Amino acid sequence: MLDGNASGVLASLLPHIEAPELADNDAPVRACYRYMRNRPGQLDYPRAIAEGLPIGSGEIESAHRYVIQQRLKISGPWWKVDNAEKMLALRTLRANSNWDTYWESVKSA
């Protein structure tokens, strides 16, 4: 994958896909193969690395704790979906260091 050979990884998985009569549609190799086959544009690791983008989910897994959960799980409040989505959009702006840029664009609009 890091060398940009997603098609080679898919080909190596193919002989290991669970037989339909022995496994359900979510069998591990079958699920992995389907996931990768359906997302070719998201598996261009060399381009992502060249652009300085993260290629793992660790940053996202970590961010949901302090961007989303930290606010939604405080004691006492309850949230309407629309309000929670707007509040989370603002928290995401701040977490991505886009807070000032956003408010400047609002001022000039």
The string of pLDDT tens digits covering residues 21-79 is 776 777 899 889 999 999 988 888 899 889 988 787 676 677 777 788 888 888 888 88
Alpha-carbon span 107 to 91, nearest angstrom: 19
Q: Where are the domains of the chain?
A: 6-50, 58-108
Closest CA to 83 of 75, 94, 71: 71
DSSP reduced 3-state for 43: coil
pTM: predicted TM-score of the whole model, two decimal places: 0.51
Q: Evaluate whether 35 touches 1 at the Cβ level (below 8 Å).
A: no
Alpha-carbon span 99 to 21, nearest angstrom: 53
Mean pLDDT value across residues 11-19: 92
Asked if pLDDT for residue 13 goes beyond 90, the answer is yes
Task: Report angle CA 61, 26, 57 to the nearest 5 degrees.
Answer: 15
